[in-house]
Structures are given as C-alpha cells and as structure tokens.
Chains A and B, each alone.
Chain A
C-alpha cells in the first residue's frame, strides 16, 4: 500500500512571515499528507539535512524576503549533491513573475504566488511527486 506523501515545509532566509507556510502545511496535512515544518531562518544546508533525515518526497519552500534567487537554487544544488534530486522542490511567496523562469531553470519545479488556492498546490504535488 502507498504510504502518504511526506512534505517538508521550510522557511529559508531571514524573514519571519510564516502565515503562508503554516497555512499550506495545515492544508497539506488536511489533504492526507505527512507534513514537517522547519520553523524560521533555515539555511539551505539545514533544509536539505532535514529533508534527507525525514525522508521526504517534497520540499516546499516559502520565502517573502526577496532572497529567493539566492537561496532557492542552493537548496536544489545541495539536494543534488546528496543524490536526492528525485525530491520535488516547489516554492511560494512574494516572488515577482520575472524571477520565475530563472527559478524553474534552477530546478524549482513550480512557484506559487500570492492568491493561489491551497487546492492548486495540493493537486500539483499529487500529480508531480516523483518518489514514493
């Protein structure tokens, strides 16, 4: 039998806006996924360590500080370095449309901007998760 999808919801960078991260974490949990939330101010390395340790299928990165172009690709690179590039990495937050192509090229599978219903994110994860 399939085990539930395991998701790490993480806050890279220094911003303290965790309303979105917590709402999405609850919504994913209510959708039947197993969710681990890192709390604030996680470095890319800390996030990757947690992802490996918790054996997750998805890493969902929430960032509103504007440092997304620096920090999000780092998470992808570090996961690759660990041979864990089958983990689906997605992002969300105040991220200008112009930056999204760069993030996708860097290995962020999808970026969810303000106003996205949680159901859209849930469906995306269900349809695109690679592990399991």
Chain B
C-alpha cells in the first residue's frame, strides 16, 4: 500500500521519535511499563504505516459486500438499514413472555429473540424431577406445541424474524415454530429467523447438551438439509463464540475456536452428501462484544476475513454468500458488575459501539441489572435505547467500516486473524473440533485464560471500575425481577391437562415412527414435525432420541 521510499523515511523518523521519547520517559514515565488489550496482548505506544506494510488493499480488505468481506457483509451496511435490534427475552410462562415480546415490538425492537428455560434447553418437561426449581427461571418454559401457540399469539410470523436460543433440542423447537406458523396460515418457506443449533460450543462452554457428538452432528446436518429445501430463509445455525468468550477466552480464541467449530459443521454436512453452496449461505455466527473497543472491532473484521478465506480455499465454495460471515452480537455479560450496577449502562454503550463499528447484523444489549437477576422492563428499555442512540445519534452509521485504514485496527485485525489461524491449525492436528473438545484441549485453553483474568483482577493489574477500584458503600439494589415460583406448578397442571385431552394413540404412533427414523438414516425433521403437531411433548420427543442416541458424558477437568 505504501511507497518503499516513503516507508524508509517513516522508519528513520520513527527511530528518532523513539529515541527522543525514551529520553523523556526518564523524567516522565508512562502510567505503566507495558500496556495490554482486554485479552492481554501487548499494545505498542504508536502504530504507523510500518505495522501494515504488507497490507494489500484489494487482497486483504476489498470492498464491503465483497470477498474477503473484511469491510462488511453488505455493500451499504447501515446506510441501507440498521442492524436488527434484538433483545433476548423470555421468562416464566408462554403467556408472560408473549406480553414481553409485544412490549418490545411496541418499543421499536425489530426482531424477536426467545430465551428458553433450562429444562426446555435440556429436553425435559416441566414435570420431570430434574426440572424442579428451574421451570421458567432463565427463560420461558415450553413443554408442547400448546405453549408455543401461546408464546406467538398475536405475533404474525411472516412479519417478524425470530431467533431461538436452542441447541440440543433445536430440531424440536423449530418443528413447533413451523407448526405454529402453519396454524397462522404462514407457510414455512416464508419464515425468517435463526436457531442457535450449535452443539459443539455447548460441550465447550455453555453446558446444555443432551446427545453424544455423532448423533448431535447428524441432527444438525438433518436440519441443514431440511431447511435448504423447505425453509430457505431460515438461518440453520448460529455458530457461537459468545459463550466461549463468556467462559473466559481471549478475543483471538473466540474467533479461532468458533471458526474451528464452523469447520466441523461444514465438514459434517459435506460428509453427509450436501453441496457446500447449498447450505453454507444459511450459516450464521454469534460473537461477544467486550470493553476493549478497538480490539473488538478488529476481532469482528478478522473473523469475517478468516471465514471467507477458509470457505473459498479449504472448502472450494463458489457462491459468494457461502463465504460471507454474518453475525449476531451480544454485549459481554461477564463484563457487568454487581457493584454500582448503573455503571453497566456505560459498558454496554461502549460494547454496542464495538459491535456496530465491527459491522454486526443484529445486536442484543445486556441490561444493567443482569449481574444480579433477569432484567426488569425498565432496564431492558435503557439497553434497547442504547442501541437506538448509537444508531440515530452517534453518526458512526453514516459510512461503511469507518475505522478501516487505521494503522492500529489493521495491524490488530491481522494479528487476531493469525492467532486464530494458529488455534485452528492446532485443532486440525488434534483431529478437528469434536476431538479437541473430547480431549479437553479447548476447555483447558479457555480455563487458563479465565484464571489469568481473575488473578489480574485480584492483584489490581486489571481495573474494573466499582469492583476493585472506586468502590463505594452501597445498598443492595431493589426492584429486581422475580419469577413467581408457582410457574412450575402451573406448567405441571398444563401438562397433565394436555396429556389427558390429546389423542394419545396418535402421539404413540408418531413417536414410534420417530424412533424408527432415528435408528435408520432418514432425515428426522419430518418425523419430529409430525410428532409435535400431535402434541407430543418436548420431553417425550427428546426422550425417544435419548433412548436411541444415548447421552453425552462431559469430560471434567480443572
């Protein structure tokens, strides 16, 4: 990018600058001997053209909406339309959550994002022994199609796009969504949305797995295949770095491990006989946004470039859409403090800016009180308003990828891409992501980073405002959201009624058909759809699959 002679001149002047600065440091030292990013990488005092002398604009950056997509997934980005403002929400019963969704849509939210409770995420009905105390706590309880009908009551499914954070039982919840839409008169080819459906990161970091790796990968490729033919606008997976980062990883690990997972899904689908350009355009990603603004922006850009290169070079994708990484972002839950919780509003604003300057397609902003409980309606509104302020008032949305060309941003983008690629190589050597997870490699790397972080906070090497510096005596916050403990009983009653009133012979028949499909090689999606339409419960459907597939055993290491 730069003229050789001019570069030589910069180099010469930089040396003079360094010498001069070094002398002045004797009198006036810097605040710290060394400076680090949020992920612990050293940051230099100054970045110059010398740091990006190998950068080739056309090869490494290109134009937005074009390979290698460093500058963005679309050509006009937020000049065309803003990202989808999508707040992750759900608690208690389907009735309660339906009210919250309608409230959020009235407040200008543009897409839904469903949080399910833990029994639902692990494929247990609300009346299962292990569900005790958990029903409706971290999300909405869905036991059958009947709950799903209430959840989306009065919400036209041809008008909204819906993201569902569901992994091990993703096929079942997608089947219910398709069935609800059909009852609304909306055919499945019109449905827009995303299921998370990313089992590998459940094994790594999030923990809501059910089945062992092999049948889990089969369920995922079955969904890819079914949707490519029947639900073409649906994002069939959201390959997630979010939880990897929350578990304590660095930014480069977030990119490296997430893309390694992505590679495993692409390989599994190709092995199952699918054409890469048929399913890859519907793959989507999900990243975290932490406080180190510039490092985060570089991370998003690096992820886009790396995925594009891998899809083209490693998998021979031909359709540009297969190479284009689209992603959802959530601000970093683990960056929130329980101390002086209003400070979290500011953290979320910085993280929002990082996601937007990094070119996100959709965004969830956390609420100030989430280190304490599920957010109240007021807190959620402030978090949504934070996005709206960045969108309408900050000006950063007026031009595409405004930080491109910054010496620091471009050097950092390259550095993160290279570091992530090193992790991917290491994982390839171990035999791919599923194997690297089985032997605990990925979990161990994340844990080491998490422990380093904790030690840095406790020694004061890393400052967290309000937590280890600038503390005050404060009253414990009032007005936290409380989920009524009666929700569990309510769901149990609903289930008993459902089981008494539905056609139990039909349920039995559909579940048997599903069992046979699981034992054989058929795509299981049509069988699951049949079963949920007959009001087989989530626990019953997953129960059949548990019997055929078995359950995943976590490898526990510290």
Contact = CB atoms under 8 A, between A and B. Distances in A.
Interface stretch (B233-241, B324-332, B450-458): B450-458
B138 A70 contact: no
Contact of A94 (B133, B248, B371, B558): B371
B368 to A, nearest CB: 13
Contacts of B202: 16
A69 B132 CA distance: 11
Contact of B558 (A16, A26, A113, A115): A26
A39 B457 CA distance: 25
A65 B134 contact: yes
Interface in B108-140: 118-119, 121-122, 130-134, 137-138
A114 B371 contact: yes
Q: Which of under 10, 10 to 19, 20 to 34, or 35 or more describes the interface residues of A? A: 35 or more
B338 A14 contact: no
A52 interface: no
B338 A67 contact: no
Given A65-B137, A67-B134, A96-B372, A35 B558 contact: yes
B241 to A, nearest CB: 15
Interface in A25-46: 25-27, 29, 35, 37-41, 43
A14 B556 contact: no
B467 interface: yes
A78 B449 CA distance: 36
Contact of B372 (A18, A26, A69, A94): A94
Contact of A115 (B118, B134, B337): B337
A6 to B, nearest CB: 15
A19 B558 contact: no
B450 A23 contact: yes
Contacts of A26: 447, 451, 558
Contacts of B206: 16
A43 B130 contact: yes
Max chain B CB contacts within 10 Å: which of A19, A40, A97, A117? A19
A94 B373 contact: yes
Interface string A86-103: 000000001011100000
A119 interface: yes
B171 interface: no
Contacts of B276: none
B334 A13 contact: no
The secondary-structure label for the interface of chain B is loop
Contacts of A118: 454, 458
Contacts of B374: 66
A40 B206 CA distance: 10
B140 to A, nearest CB: 13
B431 interface: no
Interface string A55-85: 0000000000111011100000000000000
A54 interface: no
Interface in B239-265: 246-248
B476 interface: yes
Contacts of A35: 558
A15 B243 CA distance: 13
Contacts of B373: 66, 94, 96
Interface residues of B, number: 44
B84 to A, nearest CB: 26
Contacts of B138: 15, 65-66
A37 B555 CA distance: 11
Interface string B313-340: 0000000000000000000001001110
A104 interface: no
B480 A67 contact: no
Interface string B356-384: 00000000000000011110000000000
Interface in B446-472: 447, 450-451, 454, 457-458, 464, 467-468
A100 B248 CA distance: 27
Interface string B125-169: 000001111100110000000000000000000000000000000
Max chain A CB contacts within 10 Å: which of B133, B451, B476? B133
B207 A70 contact: no
B397 interface: no
A71 B132 CA distance: 8
A74 to B, nearest CB: 9
Contacts of B406: none
B132 A70 contact: yes
A50 B483 CA distance: 31
Contacts of A117: 457-458, 468
A113 B338 contact: yes
Given A94-B373, A118-B454, A25 B337 contact: no
Interface of A: 13-19, 22-23, 25-27, 29, 35, 37-41, 43, 65-67, 69-71, 94, 96-98, 113-115, 117-119
Interface of B: 118-119, 121-122, 130-134, 137-138, 202, 205-208, 246-248, 334, 337-339, 371-374, 447, 450-451, 454, 457-458, 464, 467-468, 476-477, 480, 483, 485, 554, 556, 558
27 contacts: A14-B134, A15-B118, A16-B205, A17-B207, A19-B450, A26-B558, A35-B558, A37-B556, A38-B556, A40-B554, A41-B130, A41-B207, A66-B134, A66-B137, A66-B138, A66-B373, A66-B483, A67-B133, A70-B132, A94-B371, A96-B372, A96-B476, A97-B476, A114-B337, A115-B337, A115-B371, A117-B468
Given A14-B134, A70-B133, 19 more contacts: A13-B118, A14-B122, A14-B208, A18-B247, A19-B247, A22-B447, A23-B248, A25-B558, A27-B454, A67-B133, A67-B137, A96-B476, A96-B480, A97-B477, A114-B337, A115-B337, A115-B371, A117-B468, A118-B458
